[in-house]
Amino acid sequence: MDAEVAIIGVGTMGSMAAWQLAKQGVSVIGFEQFGIGNDRSAAGGESRLFRTAYMEGSEYVPLLQQAKQLWRELEGESNNKLLTLNGGLMIGESDSKEIDTILKSINDFNLEHEILEGDQARKRYPQFKLYDDDVAILDKNAGFLRPELAVVSAVQQAIKHGTIIKNHTMVENISQDEKGVTVTAAGKQYRVEKVLVTTGAWTRKLLPNLKDQLIPRRLLLTWFAPKDISNVLPGKLPIFARMRGDFRLTGAPSLDGSMVKASYTKAPQYVNDPAELYRDVYPEELEKISQSVEALLPALLPDPVRASVYMDAYTPDNHAIVGELPDMQNVIVASGFSGHGFKFSPMIGKIISELCINGKTDSNISYMNPIRLFGEANSFK
Ligand SMILES: Cc1cc2nc3c(=O)[nH]c(=O)nc-3n(C[C@H](O)[C@H](O)[C@H](O)COP(=O)(O)OP(=O)(O)OC[C@H]3O[C@@H](n4cnc5c(N)ncnc54)[C@H](O)[C@@H]3O)c2cc1C
């Protein structure tokens, strides 16, 4: 055996799994087609938002609370600042589904928050335009992560504990037999007991049997120059999700003292083959995002000063796939984080390391069970 566990794809989830496994003395070999911390993976773009009052469903709250502890552990071990909790402001129409779900997660778990209405919100957060039917919710356990540094920090810790990383090495094939799994990478074969597939948007290329369960999406990030930089620094501007009708902006305060990240995240754009991702920007998407900024975020000048294109794998219900697939013993997949997985990635690393070592986890991940997506009703078919 070359190692007990092979990790295919050392991006977000792969790096966290390597850290968790290596800490427990498991021998790991990790394969990454690009470099570690590369910005072609879903971890590129300078910041990721961390929220606890969760519009994607209150079932995530325990995962998020435990992820926060693990982020602090990784910070302690690596001596790098990764998570800054400067608050999260969610603004939307008071009768919208998103606001409803955020409030449900607050009530279900008694989360620390403030609700601001009308002039109170306008006075405290003049960066945003608020309409009379809007409500603003401040999540006290929210802020921003530094994704590239987080991936690099986790991998450095894993290497310290003996993990071998093969970067710039693409895995071409995996095949199982009764004694283990063979991984073929750059023409060479490696024998391991178990495999973790954490290949993000590239997953269905490696596992074509997931083509109806996972699809990559193109996601555009944009940055804007502020009218007054002092209003958009982390002490003044929380991370935000500003939702109204067809407009939806999510973003972070200025981390470099010059630009603010605010991205339009409504219209899905599917990518059949990651190699064909269009990395430039369409004029019509710029127009839409400028209109959103003009309507909702008057603290910014509406022409983006920077734009970058990324991908993430999506499932039909926007919950990930975590676990063994039918007919694929000793191969555990963690993919399809549908645009919101970074914040809880250390917990996914922990969970898949538990699945590898013990064959089970105490965390509730029933909503990520791959089986739910096999069958016409819940797949992309
Ligand atoms: C633009 C954007 C903004 C986002 N914003 C947020 C946010 O604010 N908050 C949040 O929580 N989440 C956010 N997300 C979601 C989050 O970043 C992703 O869900 C998460 O990073 C996905 O991690 P992953 O490990 O599945 O994929 P990745 O991080 O992409 O890792 C997959 C890795 O596998 C490698 N790989 C693929 N195939 C092979 C192969 N055959 N051989 C070797 N290596 C291979 C790839 O090169 C890559 O490094 C955002 C995502 C995007 C794209």
- DSSP H stretches of helix in the chain: 12-23, 61-78, 97-109, 118-124, 147-160, 203-206, 283-296, 345-358
Residue in the block written with tokens 């993000």 = 200
135 with 202, same domain? no
Residue 277 maps to which CATH number?
3.30.9.10
Which of 313, 347, 368 delimits the end of a domain?
313
Alpha carbon 133 to chain centroid distance?
30
For residues 292-312, b (16+ Cβ closer than 10 Å) or e, as one string?
bbebbbebbebebeebbbbbb
Residue 39 maps to which CATH number?
3.50.50.60
How deeply is 379 buried, as exposed, middle or buried, from its count of CB atoms within 10 A (0-12, 13-18, 19+)?
middle
183, 312, 314: which to mutate for ligand 1, most atoms within 8 A of CB? Answer: 312
- pTM, two decimals, is 0.98
pLDDT at 380: 81
21 with 155, same domain? yes
Q: Which residue has the least CA distance to atom 18 on ligand 1?
A: 341
The total domain count for the chain is: 2
CA 316 – CA 325 distance, rounded (Å): 17
202, 306, 348: which to mutate for ligand 1, most atoms within 8 A of CB? Answer: 202
Note whether 32 and 9 are within 8 A (CB).
yes
pLDDT at 109: 98
Note whether 306 and 353 are within 8 A (CB).
no
209 with 252, same domain? no
210 with 222, same domain? no
pLDDT at 47: 98
Q: Report CA(121)–ligand 1 centroid distance (Å).
A: 34
In a domain, 50, yes or no: no
**Strand blocks (E) in the chain:** 3-8, 28-32, 48-50, 83-84, 88-93, 113-117, 134-139, 143-145, 164-167, 171-177, 180-185, 188-197, 215-226, 239-244, 247-252, 260-264, 300-314, 321-324, 331-335
- At position 213, the amino acid (one-letter code) is Q
Which of 266, 294, 313 delimits the end of a domain?
313
329 with 190, same domain? yes
pLDDT at 223: 98
13, 34, 39, 41: which to mutate for ligand 1, most atoms within 8 A of CB? Answer: 41
Which of 313, 332, 362 delimits the end of a domain?
313
Summarised one tens digit per residue, pLDDT across range 206-225 is 999 999 999 999 999 999 99
242 with 107, same domain? yes
244 with 361, same domain? no
Q: Which residues line ligand 1 (CB under 6 A)?
A: 8-9, 11-14, 31-34, 38, 41-43, 45, 48-49, 170-171, 198-202, 206, 219, 221, 310-312, 335, 337, 339-343
229 with 281, same domain? yes
Q: Report CA(200)–ligand 1 centroid distance (Å).
A: 5
- State the helix-helix crossing angle for 147-160 and 345-358, rounded to 10 degrees: 30
In a domain, 58, yes or no: no
Mean pLDDT score across all residues of the chain: 96
Q: What are phi and psi of 71, to 5 degrees?
A: -60, -40
In a domain, 76, yes or no: no
Q: What Rg do the C-alpha atoms of the chain give, in angstroms?
A: 21
Six-digit token string for 37: 């911390």
pLDDT at 247: 84
Note whether 276 and 265 are within 8 A (CB).
no
293 with 334, same domain? no
105 with 196, same domain? no
Note whether 11 and 41 are within 8 A (CB).
yes
106 with 219, same domain? yes
Q: What are phi and psi of 67, to 5 degrees?
A: -60, -40
pLDDT at 357: 96
pLDDT at 118: 87
Q: Which structural domain range is residue 260 located in?
A: 87-141+215-313
Q: What are phi and psi of 276, to 5 degrees?
A: -100, 15
Atom in ligand 1 nearest the alpha carbon of residue 170: 42
Q: What is the mean pLDDT of each run of 10 residues along the chain (381 residues)?
A: 97 98 98 96 97 97 98 98 98 95 97 94 96 96 98 98 98 94 97 98 95 95 98 98 91 98 86 94 91 95 96 97 92 97 98 97 96 82 73
221 with 136, same domain? yes
Note whether 32 and 169 are within 8 A (CB).
yes
